[in-house]
């Protein structure tokens, strides 16, 4: 079947005055157009109450009055209502008012009989009538078989009848509005005419001045009134025309079409378009099938229907209607376009949101690698608020004030042990879990001294440390001086508790301990500070809340077979003056005017803690108990520190603790401890923290030298200290890291630079370093030291750098296992990859299982890329940049790299 084309012809109603001047033409369908309707089809039954030639009685109060302006202009009515005996001889009586023609609204006023048909019915009309009697449509597809089935044409007729009915309803509505406006205008004109007549014609004797007027004066008066009436009619005609023009513009804007037609004329040969019929006179013209009759009013007298394509009209594909193209779209098309735009926006927004969210997870907020930020409080549904005594509401013992209640026992109890509440603990526990096949389950003794500890700390969690969670500190300016937990909580004031409790609930979660076990680790060191028990004076710390999360963390460790080392990280007054003790600055523990008071407060804290953890439920899971983290014995008097350590150990053991008691080396040389605290009778364990980056002599070593130092120097150091014959005895490395620079943000304190770049010259810095100490600077080759490489995303690390970091970590693990083992610092950070075991594991710079390293000291060192100042090798400059700075083409000598067998 040849293709059929369809144009949608759209037009507007002709002027009613034009219709009044010419006879209405009844149009029949032809093969080229949709079914049309005559004006008679849209006139309500109510309007047909007036028949042709019928005349009703005219009522003066009736508002219906036809506008016969022509007759009014040609005839002057002289009104004289005086009785005959009082009327002058030359004045004729008032004529009887003629009844106006009946009201005929809208198109009915101009309706006339349609023209008679041709004496002989045309063949086309005859054929149409025969098809009507058979139930077929008059209009048929010119390409269809006349003798074929008519089902398709009937379906088409039903569809078009629907559009026809809609158009008729729209036209009726508009005609009704126009009739109403016409009636209103007629009534207004009639009222004005009545006013004028009453002014100049009255039957009362009081207004008898017209008796004195001559016929000539009356004629002039009538001409004046007629002229004024004509001007009024002209003004009203202009107003009506403006109203019609406004209505046309509105209909044009809304795309209101009262009918449609369709051109169907594709050629059967070669797709050439042509007209299907000849234009002739006679029957075809009478039947309305001439092209000039496609418009209302006929021929050129009416306004032609505009042919407008659905896609925008015009002659091409560009949408000839300009800004109106969208309004001509179908509702379905508009919805599809809008949905497409929204989908495109989502495609753009979602990846951006994921990237931003990931960046926030890495750099900001306290939401660490947990199971989610949303707290879980489902177990509170089973608790009646009335079960909480009034005196306990809003306190530590009220579970309805806790941010997160997951895995806590929320049944109220005021029971305490050592003055510390047991609220939150479950009554039963199970110590049968095993971290991995290389260590015994919790209910079996761990062979300390024979099997190394392989553990990790959860630093920056219950005791804040700026470089681990910089998001808490970077929002403040230098002038705010927010540099530690003391100044932070003072600044947060009343919001400190909810802020830090959210951090406690999300930074380290059950998932963290499960992943620690899966990483092949078997011990967890949990740092916490004294305000988990109590705070003193007017300190701003958040009191006790962290103690609840400490207890839950121990239960998670129990669940996954991990043994715990408790580490009191901050003591009253600060034992070292560093930010991770709680307060940066002056050392107030065993030093200064309150030194002794703070020392006693520390002993009281241990008295409570040791009583609590001496409970049977902790004997298998809490196996190491720390007294004080990193007391700075380089600035503290040594004897008072040793005496305090003895007192603290006595208190702990007296309270029933059977665990190993850990004390720090105070940054003294391990060899000095050979004769200190010997033969105390306590189960003591010496804790040493070893880093190359905090030593100005070691940080600038080339990578090969660092590996040699670890495998030679630290292996010997730990071996000697761990033996009673050559050192103090049982020794463990409680902190270490694979970082080979001190470039991590806030590592040396908030607002302080680095040794690596020589910018550590702040008064608050531990050491004053104003000269860069990176290997390039020490070699004197003129290259600048940079932290960009070390702080870059691990995905940007070269394979050689990753290999070094992995070897550097495994070498330290090997050295520290010459003693009792090690705890890595730390498990989680917001951004410092080389300080996070979890992030290092993901980056491939730490062994997949802690108990299966690929390198041990004594093995042949792998091939490594190291910096040289005399080798020219462009292909390894990029790798060398990580350590030696940025390469520049302006250098006279290329400071490149060399691959050596080390």
C-alpha Rg value of the chain to the nearest Å: 51
Which of 47, 501, 555, 735 is catalytic? The answer is 735
Which residues are within 8 A (CB) of 268 and not within 5 positions of it... i.e. 6 or more apart? 2, 143
The answer to whether 36 is a known catalytic residue is: no
Cβ atoms of 613 and 625 within 8 Å: the answer is: yes
What's the DSSP call for residue 266? B
Which of 630, 653, 810, 817 is catalytic? The answer is 630
CB atoms within 10 A of CB 894: 18
The answer to whether 735 is a known catalytic residue is: yes
Q: Using DSSP bridges, classify how beta strands 453-457 and 821-824 pair: parallel, antiparallel or unpaired.
A: parallel
Reported as type and span, the H/E element at residue 822 is strand 821-824
**Could you tell me the sign of the dihedral formed by the alpha carbons of 276, 279, 280, 282, in that order?**
positive
First to last CA, the chain: 85
Long-range contact set of residues 841-845: C-beta below 8 Å, sequence gap at least 24: 841/519, 842/794, 843/794, 843/795, 843/797, 843/802, 844/794, 844/802, 844/806, 845/738, 845/794, 845/797, 845/802, 845/805, 845/806, 845/809
- What span, in angstroms and rounded, lies between the C-alpha atoms of 146 and 136? 11
Helix axes 638-654 and 595-613, enclosed angle (nearest 10) = 30
**What would the two tokens of residue 630 be?**
């990193």
User: 3-class DSSP state for residue 725?
Assistant: coil
**What would the two tokens of residue 645 be?**
């350590």
- What span, in angstroms and rounded, lies between the C-alpha atoms of 687 and 666? 9
**What would the two tokens of residue 792 be?**
């870059």
Cβ atoms of 860 and 892 within 8 Å: the answer is: no
- What span, in angstroms and rounded, lies between the C-alpha atoms of 294 and 299? 8
Where are the extended beta strands (E) located within 593-677? 622-626, 660-664
- What span, in angstroms and rounded, lies between the C-alpha atoms of 351 and 354? 5
Phi-psi sector, 707: left (phi>0), alpha (psi -120 to 50), beta: alpha
Cβ atoms of 811 and 704 within 8 Å: the answer is: no
Cβ atoms of 558 and 621 within 8 Å: the answer is: yes
- What span, in angstroms and rounded, lies between the C-alpha atoms of 172 and 77? 39
Reported as type and span, the H/E element at residue 645 is helix 638-654
- What span, in angstroms and rounded, lies between the C-alpha atoms of 369 and 600? 38
- What span, in angstroms and rounded, lies between the C-alpha atoms of 41 and 647? 113
- Residues acting as catalytic residues: 630, 735
């Amino acid at each position: 079947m040849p293709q059929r084309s369809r144009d949608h012809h759209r037009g507007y109603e002709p002027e009613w005055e034009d219709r009044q001047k010419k006879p209405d033409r009844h149009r029949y369908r032809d093969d080229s157009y949709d079914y049309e309707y005559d004006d008679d089809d849209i006139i309500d039954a109510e309007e047909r109450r007036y028949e042709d030639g019928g005349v009703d009685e005219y009522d003066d109060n009736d508002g219906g009055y036809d506008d016969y302006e022509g007759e009014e202009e040609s005839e002057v009515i002289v009104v004289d209502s005086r009785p005959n005996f009082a009327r002058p001889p030359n004045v004729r009586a008032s004529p009887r008012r003629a009844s106006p023609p009946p009201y005929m609204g809208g198109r009915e006023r101009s309706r006339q009989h349609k023209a008679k048909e041709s004496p002989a019915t045309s063949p086309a009309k005859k054929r149409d009538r025969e098809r009507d009697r058979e139930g077929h449509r008059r209009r048929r597809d010119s390409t269809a078989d006349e003798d074929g089935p008519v089902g398709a044409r009937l379906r088409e007729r039903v569809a078009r009848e629907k559009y026809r009915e809609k158009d008729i309803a729209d036209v009726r509505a508009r005609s009704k509005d126009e009739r109403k406006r016409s009636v209103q205008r007629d009534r207004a004109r009639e009222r004005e005419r009545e006013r004028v007549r009453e002014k100049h014609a009255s039957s009362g004797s009081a207004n008898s001045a017209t008796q004195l007027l001559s016929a000539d004066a009356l004629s002039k008066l009538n001409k004046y009134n007629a002229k004024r009436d004509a001007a009024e009619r002209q003004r009203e005609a202009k107003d009506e025309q403006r109203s019609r023009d406004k209505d046309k513009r509105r209909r044009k804007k809304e795309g209101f079409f009262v009918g449609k037609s369709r051109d169907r004329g594709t050629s059967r040969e070669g797709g050439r378009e042509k007209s299907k019929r000849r234009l002739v006179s006679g029957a075809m013209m009478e039947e309305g099938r001439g092209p000039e009759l496609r418009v209302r009013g006929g021929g050129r007298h009416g306004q032609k229907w505009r042919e407008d394509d659905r896609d925008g009209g015009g002659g091409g594909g560009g949408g000839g209607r300009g800004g109106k193209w969208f309004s001509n779209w179908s509702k379905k098309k508009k919805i599809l376009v809008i949905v497409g735009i929204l989908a495109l926006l989502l495609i753009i927004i979602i990846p951006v949101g994921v990237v931003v969210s990931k960046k926030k997870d890495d750099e900001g907020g306290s939401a660490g690698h947990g199971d989610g930020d949303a707290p879980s409080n489902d177990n509170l549904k089973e608790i009646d608020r009335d079960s909480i005594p009034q005196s306990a509401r809003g306190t530590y013992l009220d579970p309805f004030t806790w941010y997160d209640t997951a895995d806590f026992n929320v049944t109220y109890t005021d029971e305490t042990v050592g003055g510390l509440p047991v609220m939150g603990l479950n009554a039963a526990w199970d110590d049968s879990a095993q971290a991995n096949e290389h260590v015994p389950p919790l209910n079996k003794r761990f062979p300390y001294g024979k099997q190394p500890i392989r553990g990790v700390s959860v630093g920056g969690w219950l005791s804040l440390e700026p470089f681990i969670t910089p998001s808490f500190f970077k929002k403040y300016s230098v002038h705010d001086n927010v540099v530690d937990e003391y100044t932070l909580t003072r600044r947060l004031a009343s919001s400190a508790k909810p802020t830090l409790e959210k951090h406690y609930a999300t930074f380290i979660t059950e998932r963290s301990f499960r992943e620690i076990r899966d990483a092949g680790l078997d011990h967890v060191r949990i740092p916490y500070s004294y305000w988990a028990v109590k705070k003193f004076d007017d300190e701003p710390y958040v009191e006790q809340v962290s103690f609840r999360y400490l207890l839950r963390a121990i239960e998670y460790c129990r669940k996954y077979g991990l043994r715990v080392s408790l580490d009191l990280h901050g003591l009253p007054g600060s034992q070292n003056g560093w930010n991770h003790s709680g307060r940066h600055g002056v050392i107030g523990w065993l030093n200064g005017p309150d030194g002794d008071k703070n020392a006693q407060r520390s002993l009281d804290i241990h008295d409570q803690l040791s009583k609590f953890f001496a409970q049977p439920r902790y004997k298998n899971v809490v196996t190491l108990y720390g007294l004080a983290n990193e007391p700075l014995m380089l600035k503290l008097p040594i004897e008072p520190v040793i005496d305090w350590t003895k007192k603290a150990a006595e208190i702990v053991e007296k309270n029933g603790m059977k665990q190993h008691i850990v004390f720090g080396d105070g940054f003294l040389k391990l060899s000095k401890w050979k004769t200190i605290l010997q033969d105390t009778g306590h189960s003591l364990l010496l804790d040493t923290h070893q880093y190359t980056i905090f030593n100005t002599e070691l940080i600038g070593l080339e990578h090969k030298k660092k590996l040699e130092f670890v495998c030679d120097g630290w292996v010997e150091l730990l071996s000697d200290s761990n033996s009673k014959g050559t050192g103090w005895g049982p020794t463990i490395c409680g902190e270490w890291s694979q970082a080979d620079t001190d470039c991590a943000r806030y590592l040396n304190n908030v607002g302080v630079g680095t040794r690596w770049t020589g910018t550590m010259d702040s008064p608050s810095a531990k050491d004053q370093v104003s000269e860069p100490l990176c290997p390039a600077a020490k070699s004197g080759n003129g290259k600048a030291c940079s932290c960009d490489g070390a702080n870059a995303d691990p995905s940007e690390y070269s394979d050689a750098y990753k290999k070094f970091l992995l070897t550097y970590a495994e070498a330290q693990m090997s050295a520290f296992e010459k003693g009792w083992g090690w705890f890595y610092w730390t498990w989680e950070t917001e951004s410092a990859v080389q300080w996070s075991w979890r992030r290092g594991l993901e980056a491939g710079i730490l062994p997949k299982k802690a108990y299966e390293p690929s390198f041990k000291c004594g093995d042949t060192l792998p091939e490594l890329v190291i910096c040289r100042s005399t080798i020219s090798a462009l292909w390894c400059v990029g790798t060398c940049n990580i350590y030696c700075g940025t390469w520049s083409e302006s250098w006279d000598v290329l400071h490149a790299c060399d691959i050596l067998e080390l």
